[in-house]
Chains A and B, each alone.
Chain A
Amino acid sequence: MEAFDVEASLPGGPRAAWRARRLIEAELSGRVPAGVLPDVALLVTELVANGVRHGGADETSAVDVRIQGRASALHVEVVNPAPADGAVGPRVPDLAGGGGLGLHIVDRLASRWGVIEEPCTTVWFELDCPPEKLL
């Protein structure tokens, strides 16, 4: 794939994930297979929403999104403005109460993902895109 590197700082608050999805549509359309876009939109939404709920990304701050096209994978990082208010990791989803669902989805959809704790909580994921499928 043609390598690319996009970085954006999005205002925090409840609409941050909506802004992130518009960024993905604008930057990735034509760069990755159309079938990959819904997965990227859902993954980024879950990470940005976690940043809003637990990582201090309110209206007065920003959440940074970095999207890199690499040789055979899409690499995405979401940087929260503050350390998370608890350990970031998948819990067993609570199907009655609804807890732990966001990172469960990330765990199921992403090829790989992880957390960088310092200085601000950064959650990253990669989505494998076979080279022949990349535009």
Chain B
Amino acid sequence: MSEPESTAPEPLRCEVGHNGTSAWVRPVGELDLDTAHRVDTALTELHEHGYAELVLDLRGLTFMDSTGLRLVIRWDTVARESGFRFAVVPGDEVVQRVFRLTGMDAHLTIADPPAAA
């Protein structure tokens, strides 16, 4: 262990912004079982504001596992069923390979990076 957990940086923080009717969440750090609820909470709050489009910007992630993938799939499914737009800004290779390994890369809506991010 390189450093004690008490002084280690938080595993994940969420940056949030909006641009007209589009809002974005940018998680920074490691997305897994421990941290996925933070991204879910951020997306839920924006959804409750009624934005027509939610963008999940994955470029700030240094790790993502199947819990993160499950979160993306769930929001994609809810958006298709509820009639709002949900799109993903692809992350680094360490993130994108999780989508590729499960065949999900072809299924998701891809967004350009948010202008304000």
Question: Do these two chains interact?
Answer: yes
List B residues 63-105 near A (Cβ within 8 Å): 63, 65-67, 69-71, 73-74, 77, 94, 97-98, 101-104
List A residues 1-51 near B (Cβ within 8 Å): 14-15, 17-19, 21-23, 25-26, 38, 41-42, 45-46, 49
For chain B, the count of residues having a C-beta within 8 Å of the partner chain is 26
Q: Is A71 part of the contact surface with B, judged by Cβ < 8 Å?
A: no
0 or 1 for each of B1-26: is its CB under 8 Å from A? (1 = yes): 11001000001000000000000000
Q: Which of A15, A22, A42, A53 contacts B1 (CB 8 A)?
A: A22
The complex places the Cα of A105 from the Cα of B5 at a distance, in Å, of: 28
Q: Which residues of A approach B to under 8 Å, CB–CB?
A: 14-15, 17-19, 21-23, 25-26, 38, 41-42, 45-46, 49, 52-53, 93, 95-98, 101-102, 104-105, 108-109
Q: Which residues of B approach A to under 8 Å, CB–CB?
A: 1-2, 5, 11, 30, 32-34, 63, 65-67, 69-71, 73-74, 77, 94, 97-98, 101-104, 107
Q: List 21 A-B contacts (CB under 8 A).
A: A14-B33, A21-B63, A22-B1, A23-B1, A26-B1, A38-B97, A41-B63, A45-B63, A49-B33, A49-B65, A53-B33, A93-B103, A95-B73, A95-B103, A95-B104, A96-B77, A98-B73, A101-B69, A101-B70, A101-B102, A109-B101
